[in-house]
Amino acid sequence: MNMSTKFIKDREEEITEPFKGDLWGRKQLGEKLTHFISNLQCGATIALDAEWGSGKTWFVKNWKADLEEKNYKVIYIDAFAHDFMEDPFLILSMEILNIVDSDASVSNRFKDKFISAYHAVLPNLPMLIWSLAMTLMGGGHFSKGVQDTITTVKEATGGVGEKVGELLEEGLKEHLTELVDNYNTNKNELKYFKQELENLVKDLEYPLVFIVDELDRCKPEFSIKLIERIKHFFDIPNIIFVLATNKAQLEESINSFYGFKSTNSYLEKFIDLNIKFPKRESDSYVEVIRTYVSKFGLRVNNKDILILSAVFNLNSRDLTRILQKIALMSNFNHYVSIVMAFIYLAMEQKSMNPSRMSEKEFLDNFMNLLITHVKSQRSYNHSNYDFANVAKFADQYASSQAGRDSSGFPYLLKYYYLEYTDEIIDERTLDMKKSLKDDLKASGYYNETDFVKSWDNYINSGFIVN
């Protein structure tokens, strides 16, 4: 019987108690952010920058609920769900209009100016003609590229093409003349739109907060349009935009699409303030691990999971998914080394491809991560460890972690030492090494000599029910 490890996502539910179950201490960030925007005398665009899986969406939805309890007007949109639209100007305008309770005459004036402004910001020619028109040079003459295209249309399609070419040429000239004539009109329409938008929100008790989520998942052209529209048309007092995004991912997407250099800071032109999610501290991991180990009924020493979570620098989504998978394995009637499973799955989560490693490569990779982690901790006495000799370090660190009830982590380190030390070991120790290796393997694959391959077979071929 094979079973996949897909997970059921939590249902979307109305948040009745903001920041309930706040395992990462995000409420404090929300309070600081609320205090900051309440004192702003102008509009602003704030980037809430966090990596994938850090809980951005959970945070902004709970922060939205918290703000609403304080009588703020708050808009939340999933940008990714709207990136099929031609222009985000419509979304931004209508969401603001829908949430603001204003005098009917003010709303109607805003609608009128919105319609005029919407026409002004959109090209009203099909893309082919628009692209051709953009290559027009001065003096009322078409550039060689446009003229060649028109000539090709005429020659390739005979009499009908001749007529089409003439209409295309005539239509381009008329449209470009209209663009020039309407330039000042369109410019004024956009000015009037911003004035009416200011009138719409000026009497709000608190700034209107507009949260844009999932921006880094959108098509690059839509992301840029949305950010540019915010800056050019919605940058007014009493409206605060908060962009919840992985900024590095968004910049990489934009750079790749438009051919910018990787050092280009295009987004900085549109963002007034960057806020990074606070770094995870070990104290934050403690509560998360305690909660999920209890929820999933795992029999494991929490300190082992705490150390491993810190070593791999896991975010909340990574940690939860790994524990979910281990819980699923543990429900079957055979032995599971939770420490070994956690390390393997964490490597998989971090795209380290553990299945392609030999046992030595697998353990070396983990030991290097562990050494880096230990060196970064102020609480450890570094003089106790021989960092140059990895096998001895494993033995020394295992001794420092030993003595905990039901702890599997020191056993893994001890196995590494016994397997790869240059020191001579006796028969009794060899028996211990064999026993340790058995403990690190999943049942059903004891014929495997390499426990890394055992775990690859075990995890990726499905779960065996005895």
Q: Which tens digits make up the pLDDT trace of 139-151?
A: 444 444 445 554 5
Mean pLDDT of 354-377: 89
Between 111 and 34, the higher pLDDT residue: 34
The whole model's pTM is what?
Answer: 0.58
Read off the pLDDT of residues 225-271 as tens digits, 9 standing for 90 and up. Answer: 899 889 888 888 999 999 999 888 888 888 877 777 665 577 888 88
**Other C-beta atoms lying within 10 Å of the C-beta of residue 163:** 12
Tell me the torsion sign for CA atoms 386, 390, 392, 396. Answer: positive
Instruction: Please give the span between the terminal C-alpha atoms of the chain, in angstroms, as a whole number.
Output: 10
Between 368 and 51, the higher pLDDT residue: 368
- pLDDT value, residue 119: 60
Residue 316 pLDDT exceeds 70: yes
Let me know if 245 is exposed, middle or buried by CB neighbors in 10 A (0-12, 13-18, 19+).
buried
The one-letter code for the residue type at 8 is I
- pLDDT value, residue 80: 93
Highest averaged pLDDT of the listed ranges 42-46, 73-77, 216-220, 312-316: 73-77
Distance CA 178, CA 175 (A): 5
Let me know if 199 is exposed, middle or buried by CB neighbors in 10 A (0-12, 13-18, 19+).
middle
What is the residue-averaged pLDDT of the chain? 74
Least confident range from 76-80, 254-258, 390-394, 455-459: namely 455-459
Supply the DSSP symbol for 2: -
Let me know if 433 is exposed, middle or buried by CB neighbors in 10 A (0-12, 13-18, 19+).
middle
Mean pLDDT of 154-165: 48
Contacts of 256 (CB under 8 A, 6+ apart): 220
Phi, psi of 192 (to 5 degrees): -65, -35
- pLDDT value, residue 6: 36
Ordered by where they begin, the domains of the chain are 1-100+204-278 (3.40.50.300), 282-460 (no CATH)
